[in-house]
Structure 1
Amino acid sequence: MGNRGLFAFILTLFMLTSFVTSAQEGESIFNSKCATCHNPHKDMTGPKLFEVRQKWEEGGAMEGSLHQWVKNWQVAEATDPYAKEVATWSPSAMTTFADLTDEQIEAVFDYVDAQPVASAVVDTPGNPGGGGNLPTEENDFSWIWYVLGAVFLVIIFSVGGVKRQLQELDESGDQPLKVGSKAWIFKNRKFVGIGVLVAVMTGVVWLLLGLYQIGVVSAYQPSQPIAFPHDIHAGINGIDCKYCHNSANKSKSAGIPTTNVCMNCHKQVQGAGDQVEKIKNIYASAGFSPEGGGKYSGETENIVWNKVHSLPDHVYFNHSQHVEIGGVDCKQCHGDMTKQNELPRVVPVEELNQIEGNVQLSKPTLTMGWCIECHSIKDVSTGTIEGKGGYYDEIHKRLLENDESLYDEYLEDGKVTVSELGGWECAKCHY
């Protein structure tokens, strides 16, 4: 097998592996998020999805509108006439999937378009009406494994043939091989072997690095109905984060402010220039008119925000435990919002490390490694006199009473970290 053949084989193998991975991801997402309401070839609660990308394109939909529809259909309806027309198809409201990336959405559509035609969809006891999962989906991509098996058989026979020729060459002394490429490979077998080893190792490393990126949402920045300027509110005007996110120190969720909270200020502060249009959106949501001293009509409109920091369902995170008890500043996880004029996003760890006072971390933001690393560095409380919460006070008290030497060991570096108080226990963060 020459250099070109080896390179073509490796490239083909990676392409097939990537295709299988993408198809499997699309199938998994469709079954978990879409199959309840959608079928590729049959209208259910939602319309059939077969070749939906082509339908939207032919219907004159704006670029990116279909992806936005999947993430938040209300935003797409408000910005694209075709999406607004689609919204009239059924009175049922579609679930929003702001956590899906464009690549994942494309993988779902690729999976749907690869399904059998409508005639192949039949009723089964576990699949009435052909809805949800297709009865043949388990074998949809079985041909991939046959192709891979054939490729490996070719490799085995090729290697066996090379081995036999090398043995013949060894037995016949310096007799040259008849095939020029094979003779060159044998003559430069050390370099060829090193090249193959480097290529294989490079492919393995590339594959592993790709796997490590699964679930990493660093720099994720969804669209929002209003481009809220944090630098003006938190920076120039000095509004405390917890004035708007008022449950951050007393609840699991930090909360998103209601329009009434905005109106506490904007009933008087009505903006100027380009800001007027943004203020109008707030007024429309609250049903407020500034004319004649201001009055409320009672007709309100919801503002649909897209969630930025989305954690998996099996992960537990409590804002109050970190903000109130742990004394973690908002900028540790969210960045310096007093200087951020752009839309909220998951700030990369490299940018977080540049903020003065932040714990220096190395793992990608919102990953498990990022949390574990912080728990091993960040101190919680250094004594019972701080009164930061009965839970930690009780731990200090028990350590002092039952194992003072262990307590002294914990305080050797001048602080008690989260991990030393059980912050690495699985049940602390996982249901």
Structure 2
Amino acid sequence: MFRSIKQWCIGALSMLFIVGAFDSFAQVDGGALFKAKCATCHQPHKDGTGPKLFHVREKWATGGAKDGSIYQWVANWNVAAAADPYAKQVSETKSTAMNTFPDLAGKTKEIDAIFDWIDSQPDPAVAKADAPSAVGSAAAVGEVEEGGLSWVWILMGVVFVVIIMAVGGVRRQLENAAREHDGQSVNDDLSFGQEFRAWAWKYKRYVGLGGLVIVIALIVSLFLSLYSIGVLENYQPSQPIEFPHDIHAGKNGIDCKYCHNSAIDGRTAGIPTVNVCMNCHKQINGNDATQQEKIAKIYAAAGWDPVKQAYTGKTKEIIWNKVHVLPDHVYFNHQQHVVAGGVDCKQCHGDMTKMNATAKVQPVTELNKIEGNVQLTKATLTMGWCIECHAEKEISAGSLDSKGSNYYNEIHNRLLKDRKLYNKFLQDKKITVKELGGWECAKCHY
């Protein structure tokens, strides 16, 4: 059975190395997960777009959250808020909704790894206050316990593999004995690899079918994963100067197009110049020290002296963090949608009167909650989302010229020449973007 003790020892050591390597890969990197999924909005020890997360599990437990509710919250806060009163209370503490992570649903190990990493991070404020004894205090906190498989499990895995190989050796010996009994030739020098190739050739039809199924499954999985590339909802970077949309657009009732005026007559909505800000903030200096500190950044950018009530000529450039980036192969014109199509900003951007900071795209489930929005199902800012909106968005109820816009006159005149086509379009009592060619590829890709 054991034809070569040397080979078995090398094999056992190799398996030990492989299992040990697997253990290093099996350990979940909580820090990497935090940076990939959480760091945009959260910090361990400081409130940002989202609240600080240090010891958040203990906070939920003492606050009366249901068992396992926090794991459900991380995957889909809507489900957690519907099932747990404490989660619902948390959902109401911030004006911006948390992103959903369906890929973390049921994966408590990964979520625990994120929280373990967060809880292991030292508080910079405490470290700064206690700088001379930083090393001692770190030792007092205690070392972070390493996760992953223990060496006992590794050893058991090696033993299990050795047993399987030994049983395979016994099977080979029995097969050889049977071949000798039947007068057939026996080759003891065959390696396991050669023996496997011989077996695969013998059952090549089944091996081929199995291999084909595996290859097709891998290809399908690859293409399905490609659908998630570039799909990012609720991306919300910080900005050098905070702009509370809920105050400006909500409380003060400023129309979106006052600041983003290029959306009316241009392709992009654009970032308003600091001069637009100064139209109001020459007179509005803030009600408290915090507001005055933020508005002072606008004055510095514009070169405005609030004491002398005059421009100094010394401006400071504002480096904004870009939020919206469309692929180069996609054409989108704000004017065409806002003016000609009459699409409200909230259809794509959400209700900015209730949002403190703008996000790249709101989840489609959140957009569907807004009154007046077209109800869609595809992920926001994907091609499926656009063509679904083009199929549902109503240009005009009844006659196309009911909008009183010259934009539709030519289309209307052409339709009148083909009454059959015109009546077909009016069967549902509305004209959609799709019916006017909104599904043509060259509308968005050229």
Structure 2 length as normaliser, TM-score?
0.51
Residue by residue over 1:52-109, the C-alpha shift from the partner in whole angstroms, topping out at 9 and shown as x without a partner, is xxxxxxxxxxx99xxx9xxxxxxxxxxxxxxxxxxxxxxxxxxxxxxxxxxxxxxxxx
Could you say what secondary structure the match of 1:218 adopts? coil
| TM superposition shift of 1:242 | 0.8
- Distance in 2 between the 1:196 and 1:423 partners? 43
- Distance in 1 between the 2:209 and 2:365 partners? 36
Aligned to 2:392: 377
Aligned to 2:258: 243
2:241 to 220, 226, 232: 226
- Distance in 1 between the 2:251 and 2:209 partners? 61
Structure 2 residue 355 is the aligned partner of structure 1 residue 336: no
Percentage of pairs with the same residue: 62
Aligned to 1:309: 324
2:365 to 347, 350, 353: 350
Aligned to 1:254: 269
- Distance in 2 between the 1:195 and 1:277 partners? 67
- Distance in 2 between the 1:419 and 1:249 partners? 23
Residue by residue over 1:259-301, the C-alpha shift from the partner in whole angstroms, topping out at 9 and shown as x without a partner, is 1111111111111232222101100011011114x22101111
Could you say what secondary structure the match of 2:424 adopts? helix
- Distance in 2 between the 1:376 and 1:425 partners? 12
| TM superposition shift of 1:221 | 2.6
| TM superposition shift of 1:253 | 1.7
Change in Cα spacing, 1:345 to 1:277, as seen in structure 2 (3 Å) is farther
Change in Cα spacing, 1:345 to 1:384, as seen in structure 2 (3 Å) is closer
Q: Given that residues 236 and 357 in structure 2 are in contact (C-alpha distance below 8 angstroms), is that contact kept between their aligned partners in structure 1?
A: no
| TM superposition shift of 1:195 | 9.8
| TM superposition shift of 1:217 | 3.2
Unaligned runs of 5+ residues in structure 1 are 16-62, 69-164, 173-177, 187-191
Structure 2 residue 412 is the aligned partner of structure 1 residue 396: yes
Change in Cα spacing, 1:398 to 1:309, as seen in structure 2 (3 Å) is same
**Higher mean C-alpha deviation, range 383-392 or range 335-344:** 383-392
Q: Given that residues 400 and 431 in structure 2 are in contact (C-alpha distance below 8 angstroms), is that contact kept between their aligned partners in structure 1?
A: no
Query: Which amino acid in the other structure matches residue 334 of structure 1?
Result: H
1:285 to 274, 277, 301: 301
Matches within 5 A, 1:314-333: 314-333=329-348
Structure 2 residue 325 is the aligned partner of structure 1 residue 299: no
* Max Rg structure: 2
Structure 1 segments of 4+ aligned residues over 6 angstroms from their partners: 192-201
Q: Given that residues 325 and 388 in structure 1 are in contact (C-alpha distance below 8 angstroms), is that contact kept between their aligned partners in structure 2?
A: no
- Distance in 2 between the 1:277 and 1:204 partners? 55
Could you say what secondary structure the match of 2:394 adopts? coil
Matches within 5 A, 1:9-408: 203-271=218-286, 272-292=288-308, 294-382=309-397, 383-400=399-416, 402-408=417-423
- Distance in 2 between the 1:334 and 1:388 partners? 27
Q: Given that residues 334 and 347 in structure 1 are in contact (C-alpha distance below 8 angstroms), is that contact kept between their aligned partners in structure 2?
A: yes
- Distance in 2 between the 1:313 and 1:429 partners? 11
Q: Given that residues 223 and 343 in structure 1 are in contact (C-alpha distance below 8 angstroms), is that contact kept between their aligned partners in structure 2?
A: no
Structure 1 length as normaliser, TM-score?
0.53
- Distance in 1 between the 2:243 and 2:217 partners? 44
- Distance in 2 between the 1:284 and 1:388 partners? 46
- Distance in 2 between the 1:241 and 1:220 partners? 20
Residue by residue over 1:133-174, the C-alpha shift from the partner in whole angstroms, topping out at 9 and shown as x without a partner, is xxxxxxxxxxxxxxxxxxxxxxxxxxxxxxxx9xx99xx9xx
- Distance in 2 between the 1:195 and 1:275 partners? 67
- Distance in 1 between the 2:283 and 2:421 partners? 58
Query: Which amino acid in the other structure matches residue 311 of structure 2?
Result: Y
| TM superposition shift of 1:341 | 1.0
- Distance in 2 between the 1:273 and 1:388 partners? 50
- Distance in 2 between the 1:283 and 1:223 partners? 20
Q: Given that residues 221 and 343 in structure 1 are in contact (C-alpha distance below 8 angstroms), is that contact kept between their aligned partners in structure 2?
A: yes
Change in Cα spacing, 1:384 to 1:417, as seen in structure 2 (3 Å) is closer
Query: Which amino acid in the other structure matches residue 302 of structure 1?
Result: E
| TM superposition shift of 1:197 | 8.9
| TM superposition shift of 1:397 | 1.7
- Distance in 2 between the 1:352 and 1:218 partners? 12
Change in Cα spacing, 1:268 to 1:222, as seen in structure 2 (3 Å) is same
| TM superposition shift of 1:354 | 1.7
Q: Given that residues 363 and 370 in structure 1 are in contact (C-alpha distance below 8 angstroms), is that contact kept between their aligned partners in structure 2?
A: yes
Query: Which amino acid in the other structure matches residue 357 of structure 1?
Result: G
Q: Given that residues 324 and 388 in structure 1 are in contact (C-alpha distance below 8 angstroms), is that contact kept between their aligned partners in structure 2?
A: no
The two structures, once aligned, show a CA RMSD in angstroms of 4.0
| TM superposition shift of 1:193 | 11
- Distance in 1 between the 2:357 and 2:212 partners? 46
Structure 2 residue 426 is the aligned partner of structure 1 residue 418: no
